[in-house]
Structures are given as structure tokens and as C-alpha cells.
Amino acid sequence: MCRNGVGAYPKPQSIDGWYSSMRLFIDFVPVLVWALLAIALVAIMLLASWVLRPHILQNSDKTSSYECGEEPVGTAAVAFPYSYFLYTVLFVIVDVMGAFLWLLSVSPLRISEVIVWQTFVFVVLIVLGIAFALHMLPQTLLDGKETLRLYRESKAAREQHDSGVQV
């Protein structure tokens, strides 16, 4: 509303709500233009990278990893402890929830009862998901002993392969 009590847009002169639906479309045009430009930019970048890259026939020498002129030994898969990955994901979820709640709290719009209930359901679903993830944590992560055992097995396999290669 403006100071004189008149809305930001003039009162509709037509019938059947045509003006209000057209006004909604006109307000949405900048978002539509931005989305189309973003999609076009991604398409142009993908096309340019495909056109400009060297087109070489692939063989095992080209795709193998380079280890100082030596033949690669073993696999690249190493037993790596992922014990903090779930905590990182949970932190990001809680952080995003906090950002949404902060934006809602500083919103200049009047918060209705419907918005309060939707926010309550959102927070309850996030909290239930976090509780489930923390409950499943011991079953999904390797403990230190299991990680150490896998590391020792992969190291022994590499040493056995190295001793077999060296004649």
C-alpha cells in the first residue's frame, strides 16, 4: 500500500479476474527470463567444452593413472574412514533449516496461523529425520577397528603385489 491508501497497482477495470491473472504473469516474467538465461548459459558452456576439447581415441595408456613413470600398482580404492560424513550432512540440514527459520522470523509479511503450522510440521519432520539418522549412526558407519582392519588388508595386498612384481 502507498501512503495515500491506494495500492501499488491501479484498480482493475476489467471483469472476471483477467487483470489480476495477467498482473501475476507480468510479475513472473523477470523470473522466467532469468531461468531461461541460466539454462541457455549452461547449454552454451557444455556445447563449447564439447567443441573445444581434443577428440582423442581412448586407450588404456591414455586413461591409466601416472605414477612417476611406473606402472600403477593395485587399485585406487583405499579404505577411507567416513566417520564424519554423516555429521557433515546433518550440520548442513540443520543450517538450512536455521536459514529458513531466520528468513521467516525477519519477514515483514504478517505471519498467519497456516504459516505457523506449516513451519511446525517442517521443523518436526527435520527433527524426526535427524533423530532417525543419529539412531542409525552406529549401524551405518565403520568403527575405528573395522577401518584399521580394512586398511591393513589393502596394505598387505599391495605389498604382496609389489613383492610379486619385483623379480
Torsion sign over Cα 6, 8, 9, 15: negative
pLDDT in tens, the chain (167 residues): 555 555 555 555 555 555 666 777 788 888 999 999 999 999 999 999 999 988 777 776 666 666 676 666 666 666 665 667 777 888 899 999 999 889 888 877 788 888 889 989 999 999 998 888 877 776 656 555 666 677 788 888 888 877 765 54
pLDDT, tens only, 5-45: 555 555 555 555 556 667 777 888 889 999 999 999 999 99
Contacts of 115 (CB under 8 A, 6+ apart): 104
Q: According to the model, what pLDDT value does residue 167 have?
A: 44
DSSP bridge partners of 70: 67
| pLDDT computed for residue 28 by the predictor | 85
Q: What is the pLDDT of residue 79?
A: 62
Rounded Cα distance, 100 and 114, in Å? 16
| Under 8 Å between Cβ of 104 and 119 | yes
Among candidates 14, 3, 4, 143, which has minimal Cα distance to 79?
A: 143
Q: What is the 8-class DSSP label of residue 67?
A: B
> Looking at the DSSP assignment, which residues form a beta bridge with residue 67?
70
- Three-class secondary structure of residue 70 per DSSP: strand
Taking the model in full, what pTM does it have? 0.40
